[in-house]
Amino acid sequence: MGYAMARFHFPGKSVIKSLMDLPIAFPELVLRLCLLLLFGQTPVGKAMEEAGIRVVFTKLGIVVAQIFTALPYAARILYSTFESVNPRYELVSRSLGYGEFESFKNVTIPLARNGLFASTVITFARSMGAFGAVLILAGGSYMNTETLPITLYLNISYGNIGMAITSGIVLVVLAFLAILVFEKVEGGL
């Protein structure tokens, strides 16, 4: 999405960019409720369930919720990354015999490497902290659809402060490690 938005011009591009950013600006609970409604008892949800794909209150729901939470961040970072790669390099590559895909793979991707890595780290960190989306779409079933933020929440609500603190510490350590790795790579090791 980021590459397409950075390279191609088409009618409605500004509307699509706005839709990409909507999950960032929209109230999280309302957007996640929309996800629950979409995958619940709607034609989309029913068709998926008839095909054997259950999203609501399943582990797949965790993945879907995390994708909807992190995708706008990844798309925005990748849009900026590909926007900063001069398209002339791709044109020169193609004039020297590479096709479109080969130019993308051998020229654009290496030039966008830092942005791709930054996008990966930031979206990973964002997904790890996803709470509302996962809780609403996948539920908070103990040892089934439970993620670290949900574990923290459930243990606080049960009064198990020790386990809640442990979950919080693990989340903080993971966030710190993600930022540390990002800084190391960005700083050139």
d(CA 136, CA 175): 23
**pLDDT of 16-71, one tens digit each?**
998 888 888 888 788 888 899 999 989 999 999 999 999 999 999 999 999 988 99
d(CA 9, CA 11): 7
Domain definitions of the chain by residue range: 2-139
At the top level of CATH, the class of 2-139 is mainly alpha
Please give the C-alpha separations between residue 2 and each of 53, 104, 119, 136, 178, in angstroms, as whole numbers: 28, 13, 11, 28, 22
Q: What is the pLDDT of residue 188?
A: 60
Note whether 55 and 61 are within 8 A (CB): yes
Task: Identify which of 8, 36, 35 has the alpha carbon closest to the alpha carbon of residue 23.
Answer: 35
pLDDT greater than 90 at residue 151 = yes
Q: What's 108's DSSP letter? A: I
Is pTM beyond 0.75? Reply is: yes
**pLDDT of 92-136, one tens digit each?**
999 999 999 999 999 999 999 999 999 999 899 889 888 988 999
* Sign of the CA dihedral with 22 first, then 25, 29, and 30 last: negative
Arithmetic mean of pLDDT over the chain: 91
Q: What is the pLDDT of residue 178?
A: 87
